[in-house]
Amino acid sequence: MDFLLRRQSHTSGTAGPQMQRPQHAPYPPRNASLGGIPTVHTDVPITAVFLFLFICGAATHMTIYQMNRRRGHKFVLSGMMFGFCMARITTCVMRIVWATRPQHISIAIAAQILVAAGVVLLFVINLVFAQRIIRAMHPHSGWHPFFAHFFTAIYCLIVITLIMQIVAIVQSFYTLNSNTLRIDRDVILYGGTFSTVVSLLPFPLVLGALIIPRKTRLEKFGSGRFRSKIAILLTAAFLLCLGASFRAGTNFKTPRPRDDPPTYYDRAYFYIFNFTVEILVVIFYVVVRIDLRFHVPDGSKGPGDYSRMSALNSKEKGAGSDTSARIAGDEAAFDDTAENQAKYPSEAAKVHAREERGP
């Protein structure tokens, strides 16, 4: 999207021949952008490598999803990871096409939109993981309607912001009006800043849940140590935030002419802070088996559901793969000690006690 932060100086009377107005829209960019215009000799081989990696990622996550589905282990987020990989496959294909047709502005528009839009799926997945961690640590507040509405509002803002960015990107290619271009630039800057904030959200959410004292025992879910779940989420969030922060930061820089790009717009930075950090997250989530670690029982609707259905979870682990058994056997929840069990009563135990007492 930084490709579109451009052309606001088109009304000056000192423009050289390269700054002459094109006759028809869409108009080519006048300023440099992150990664520049792709070329056949440089960008096609690099993009082809990422295309292959994302194809492998899509096949792996879909295989995991289908295997889990056949044994009744529902984990929709594996399907979302497959969707993200498919979006990036399309992005890579469009970038290769753009490299072979650098003068085709419509292809450039589509390629830039796909670069900007795909990563939001990873942001959403990380927010879902953060929500599950908070509900496990603080069942009452985590399942409170206000907290659920907070996440719903974030998801709605993600969709609205993405639509705004797409409109601004397309419109900026079809106008030479300086005020309209200024507005488009502001919208794109807002979108980049918002993406950075969303990618960073797991940190304050999870760290806040760790700092606030718990009133009940941990509502365990999935396989593996709870601290491992936190480390996995924050590692992925750090990688995504790194990419989003770099893209947003370069957008705020003063635009430079297309034939005089700054160093931070080099192709290497484009591939590192876009495709590289994303494929690392895709591979990382396969290796750590998020489908096992972050799985919650079907039908969980309130405090105590994670613990109340733990017997069913254990059966699923026993019927699962060797990887599931290894994770479940090697790692236990970090507070699963006699001292903590006495200190923090289980939410499921509380519910059971209330049912025993009756109305």
Distance CA 138, CA 126 (A): 18
Distance CA 307, CA 221 (A): 8
In the numeric block, which tokens belong to residue 256? 């430079």
What pTM, to 2 d.p., does this model score? 0.81
Asked if 39 and 102 count as a contact pair (C-beta separation under 8 A), the reply is yes
- With a CB cutoff of 8 Å and minimum separation 6, the contacts of 313 are 221, 222, 295, 297
DSSP type of residue 173 = T
Residue 143: predicted pLDDT: 85
Q: Can you give the pLDDT at residue 315? A: 53
Q: Which stretches in the chain have pLDDT values below 50?
A: 3-4, 6-20, 316, 319-339, 341-342, 346-348, 351-356, 359
**Beta partners for residue 6, in sequence order:** none
Q: Which residue has the tokens 């603080």?
A: 138
- State how far Cα 354 lies from the chain centre: 40
Query: Which has the closest alpha carbon to 294: 329, 318, 319, 324?
Result: 324
Residue 313: the pLDDT is: 53
Task: Please report, for residues 33, 169, 184, 248, the alpha-carbon distance to residue 19 in angstroms, rounded to integers and kept in the order given.
Answer: 16, 20, 20, 26
pLDDT, averaged across the chain: 82
Dihedral class, residue 180 (left if φ above 0, else alpha if ψ from -120 to 50, else beta): alpha
Distance CA 270, CA 3 (A): 11
The reported pLDDT for the residue numbered 319 is 46
Instruction: Count CB atoms within 10 A of the CB of residue 216.
Output: 20
